[in-house]
Structures are given as C-alpha cells and as structure tokens.
Amino acid sequence: MHNRTVNGIPQLGLGTFGRTGDDGLRALLDAIEIGYRHIDTAQSYGTEENVGKAVERSGLPRDAFFITTKVADTNLARGDFLPSVEKSLETLALDRIDLLLIHWPSARDAVPFADYMEALAETRARGWAARIGVSNFPIADLKRAETAIGSGVLSTNQVELHPFLQSPRLCDYARSRGLPLTAYMPLAKGRVSDDPVLREIAARHNVTAATISLAFLMGEGHIVIPASSNAGRLRDNHAALSVTLDTDEVSALRALDRGERMIDPDKAPAWDD
C-alpha cells in the first residue's frame, strides 16, 4: 500500500539509530526495497552518510525519498547551527533536507531559545530544508517556538510515543495547533511484543504486536519511525499501513497508557505527561 502522508510527511518512516557501518547500510537498502521512503537520521546518530549512500545506491530518483535529519543540541549556538546543517547536507550528499528538526531544546536555555529557532527558520529561507520542526519539545517550548518564529511554521514535533506512553496532554495541545507528532521508539524498545492486549489483537489480524502498535499510533494521527535491521521485522512494520483497527480495539489500546517513558536524559525538558 502506498504510504499515507500527514502534513506532507509520509506517515510511516524508518528510524536509523544504530544503522552504522556496512551492516547498517545493508539494512537501509533492505528497507528501501521493502518500500520505505521516509528515512529519519540525525547528526548525533552517525548514520547520515549511510542514508546518503542508500539513497544513491537505490537507483531511485531523489524525489522518491523524504529525508529527515536533526541538529544536535551541541550545535545550537548561533555560530554552529548553520555550519552544522551545511555539513549534514554534505554528509548526506543532498542539496536539501526534506525535514530538519531541532533534536533537543537547549538544556536550561544554555543557548538562547530564539537564537536557534531563528536559525532553524533561516535554513528554510535558504532552501536547505523544505520543512522544519522540533523534537522533544514540551508544550511550553512549542508555545515559545510559536512566539519566536510564528504559528503554523513547524511541521512536526518528534517525541517518544508508544502504547505505554501516549502523552494525552501533549497530544491534545498539538492537535489544537494542527501540529502532528512523530513517534520515536513506537515499539517501546520491543516491549510491545510481550503485551497480552497487543498480542491478542495481533493474533486476530494475523500480524505481529509491533504491526498493531504502529497501526494504532498512525490511527491516532501520528507519524511513526520504527527502526530495525531485520528484514522480516522491517516487513512486519511496513505492513501496519494496511491494518485497520475497530473501535473496541482502539479503546483497549488507549487503555495501555501508563506514562512509561524510556528516554529521559538529564538534558530533557520538563515533560507534560
């Protein structure tokens, strides 16, 4: 099934954290063969080079792909931001990024917020990024972003989301602003596979629990970027595009939310949920 889009972003993407070296490149090429076209990387992952190589080696036109990368929190300072994006373009061997995100807000405002939001907007003005967005931004920072660069400018906020962390406050606010969320770690580091509710629904649809988790998140309007280097799992994840859940199943999955956050480093902002 052809990938659906949300706000111009393909709803099912591929996370590339850990896809380094030759094995990583092979996994990316497998994913492209299966049908993934939205590929998510970051300056801090060390996978930008492999993503660029995979795009080139696929033999597909550049426009077949949607490439996302993220500016590391170590590159947010005024003098570092734009040069770091130039370097990303060079490493990716691309003349533009489809979606450029701020990876984390600057902890305790070590870098003035307006400085890096204005630099982000500048990348779009220069044509380096077709769309811009943020990652790991709580509501307070989304509000500040709107003050800094205007409303309706951001294309997404990429955050940890999975059946065990559904972030209702953040979701409600983002929906009210017409801002889609992109779910990273949508399979909760594989934990969805052990959940009895997910397994039961999966058995009913003759798919995996991971497939159900992704179908659920997409049904809630989110973009998802699961990662795997296993071709079978890459296929299972991609199959989520053709799964439709009924209202009872959706209710059962919504009830799994327990605010279980897995990524919470010291530099994290104050979360809403």
Binding site, residues? 103
By residue count, the chain amounts to 273
Pair of tokens at residue 161: 């989301």
Task: Answer yes or no: 45 catalytic.
Answer: yes
Which listed residue (45, 116, 173, 184) is catalytic?
Answer: 45
SS (H, E, C) 127-166: CCEEEEEEECCCHHHHHHHHHHHCCCCEEEEEEECECCEC
Count of helices and strands (H, E) across the chain: 10, 10
The SS3 assignment for 6 reads: strand
Strand partners, 38: 13, 66
Is-contact 64 32, C-beta < 8 A? no
Angstrom distance (rounded) from CA 66 to CA 70: 14
Q: How many CB atoms lie within 10 A of CB 258?
A: 10
Q: Which residues contact 23 (CB under 8 A, 6 or more apart)?
A: 229
Binding residues for substrate are: 103
Name the CA dihedral angle for 237, 241, 243, 248, rounded to a multiple of 10 degrees.
100
Nearest partner of 43 among 106, 15, 85, judged by Cα: 85
Catalytic residue numbers?
45
